[in-house]
Amino acid sequence: MAAAAADRRFKIFAAADAFGQPLKDAVVAHLRAHPSVADVVDLGVDKYYAAAAAVARSVIATPTSSSDPALEARGVVVCGTGAGVAIFANKYPGVYATHCATAADAANTRSINACNRFFDSAPAEMAAIPDISSASVPDSACAICCLRKGMEFEPVGIMPGGEMRIVRESPTSAYVRFKAGSVEPAHHHTFGHDLVVISGKKKVWNLTKKESYDLVDGDFLFTPAGDVHRVKYFEDTEFFIRWDGHWDIFLDEDLDAARRAIDAELGAATAK
């Protein structure tokens, strides 16, 4: 008889390719602190197919123990796309592998499709995987927040008050923080980028399109390649950003010019 949902405990095998290592390390640390996880075995970093094979073999070689029938084996692999590793792992009998980008993906593919291997190519709340007996995911769960804990950020030298942690390269993903009052001078990139505000409040002026956007928690914004934009932070703000290619930035004005332009814009708006 299967163990009751409340009694389930998990032994999780994890691995990654070079693209997925930072996220894999964050997932492993988070799962080790989860009360439903009995053990997390970190199988390290290898080529995507070798990482997939290592986790697949480990999952199918871990039978349910008669002394602990509630212990179940699961696998997590983090890579560049999540597709190749899933295809490779599914060649192993007894492995049911799928790509998951969100906690809801993990819950649904487990409850509906009995998947026991999960592949991630984007920050997601993999800690929700042990709660697969429930089809619901708590509204308070933040996929990005749980993985950024404990990360070390590097200062954004050309923009005082900012710091960034790149978690994946080409296409690139990063967490970015700016202190209240910080300003990003007008600049542009050779790539378009998507961002989601995790917390805080900021205003973005797209000077190319002559548009502006007020962004708060949960807001999304896409800025096309080449569009010149400047930013003002009204609160301590953190956001997740993703772009194609390697990081680059080209300044179109200096910091003092940006502050004068923003003060004039906000002053004019207040006077209306």
Position 236, amino acid: D
Domain ranges of the chain: 8-133, 153-271
Residue 167 pLDDT more than 60? yes
DSSP 223-261: E-TT--EEEEESS-EEEEEEESSS---EESS-HHHHHHH
Give domain 8-133's CATH superfamily: Sugar-phosphate isomerase, RpiB/LacA/LacB (3.40.1400.10)
Q: What percent of the chain has a predicted confidence (pLDDT) above 90?
A: 32
Higher pLDDT, 55 or 149: 55
Give kind and range of the element (H or E) at residue 22: helix 21-32
Residue 163 has which token pair?
A: 């710091």
Whole-structure pTM value: 0.49
Bridge partner residues of 165 (DSSP)? 175
23-32 residues labelled b (16+ CB within 10 A) or e (exposed) = bbbbbbebbe
Q: pLDDT tens for residues 48-70?
A: 888 989 998 998 888 655 455 56
Rounded mean pLDDT of 153-182? Answer: 83
Q: What is the CATH number of domain 153-271?
A: 2.60.120.10
Return the beta strands (E) in the chain as ranges: 9-16, 37-45, 71-78, 97-99, 117-120, 154-155, 162-168, 172-178, 183-188, 193-199, 201-206, 211-216, 220-223, 229-233, 237-243, 250-251
Q: Which pLDDT belongs to residue 208?
A: 97
Higher pLDDT, 105 or 78: 78
